[in-house]
């Protein structure tokens, strides 16, 4: 059976069989079901995915952008405390976990990959926090959040073109929209104010270097 068409129980079994509980180097406050052996999981998932045309297992890793964004939230808990927060393109949901730990009033995590949605549920359970998972594409939804965080989302041109106008609109509608980017090719050149920077350790399985400089930006109107 393909894990991506599975029930929550089957997806849980797949995730737990192919990942281990680990803490990202930049934000050890958060525990995640993480792939330590990158290649076997990628291959296992790709074989399943070839049949159903779904994306690779981004959810099994905490990306450089996600690490820095999560560190930024943990370093500025007052910015999410008591707020309605969306972790957009959440992957593992790492930043959603941190927002909940920091006392956000309500945390939602959105990802269009069904396996990511299962992983977020498992990670929320692991961290003992409440995170509501949004499995449909929320791009275009009316703003109902005080804070929107998005880690490592500018790695493909079509995705950036899809999400950028909406993220800007959310900022124009009054949300604080914060992105973290490690130098991906499609990061927009304007409309971003630098609010932080972190050097994070990364896996050479995922990146071409062991450390990445990640900039945290707020979208400005």
Ligand X SMILES: C[S@@+](CC[C@H](N)C(=O)[O-])C[C@H]1O[C@@H](n2cnc3c(N)ncnc32)[C@H](O)[C@@H]1O
Chain residues that interact with ligand X, rule: CB under 6 A: 55, 58-59, 62-63, 65-66, 89-92, 94, 110-113, 116, 137, 139, 151-153, 155, 159, 162
> Which residue, 3 or 91, is less far from ligand X as judged by CB?
91
Task: Quote the least distance from Cβ 122 to ligand X, whole Å.
Answer: 15
Q: Say how far apart CA 190 and CA 219 lie, in whole Å.
A: 9
Task: Quote the least distance from Cβ 161 to ligand X, whole Å.
Answer: 11
Could you list the beta-strand ranges (E) of the chain: 20-22, 32-34, 84-88, 106-110, 132-134, 147-151, 176-181, 192-201, 211-219
- Whose tokens are 């957009």? That residue is 88
> Which residue, 149 or 171, is less far from ligand X as judged by CB?
149
Task: Quote the least distance from Cβ 178 to ligand X, whole Å.
Answer: 12
> Which residue, 61 or 83, is less far from ligand X as judged by CB?
61
Q: Say how far apart CA 42 and CA 5 lie, in whole Å.
A: 17
Whose CA is closest to 60, among 116, 142, 4? 116
Task: Quote the least distance from Cβ 87 to ligand X, whole Å.
Answer: 7
Structure token digits, residue 132: 């509501």
Task: Quote the least distance from Cβ 146 to ligand X, whole Å.
Answer: 19
Q: Say how far apart CA 24 and CA 33 lie, in whole Å.
A: 10
Structure token digits, residue 197: 């920077």
The pair phi, psi for residue 186, each rounded to 5°, is: -110, 15
């Amino acid at each position: 059976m393909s894990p991506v068409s599975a029930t929550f129980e089957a997806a849980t079994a797949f995730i737990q069989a192919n990942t281990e509980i680990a803490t990202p180097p930049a934000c050890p406050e958060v525990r995640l079901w993480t792939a330590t052996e990158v290649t076997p999981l990628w291959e296992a998932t790709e074989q399943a995915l070839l049949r159903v045309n779904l994306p690779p297992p981004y959810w099994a890793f905490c990306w450089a952008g996600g690490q820095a964004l999560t560190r930024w939230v943990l370093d500025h808990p007052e910015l999410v405390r008591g707020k309605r927060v969306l972790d957009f393109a959440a992957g593992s949901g790492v930043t959603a976990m941190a927002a909940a730990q920091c006392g956000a009033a309500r945390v939602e995590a959105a990802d269009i990959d069904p396996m990511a949605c299962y992983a977020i549920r498992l990670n929320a359970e692991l961290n003992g926090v409440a995170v509501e998972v949004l499995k449909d594409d929320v791009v275009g939804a009316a703003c109902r959040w005080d804070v929107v965080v998005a880690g490592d989302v500018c790695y493909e041109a079509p995705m950036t073109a899809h999400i950028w106008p909406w993220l800007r609109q959310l900022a124009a509608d009054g949300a604080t929209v914060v992105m973290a980017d490690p130098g991906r090719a499609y990061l927009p050149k304007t409309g971003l104010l630098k609010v932080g920077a972190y050097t994070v350790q990364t896996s050479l399985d995922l990146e071409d270097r062991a450390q990445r400089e990640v900039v945290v930006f707020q979208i400005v109107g």
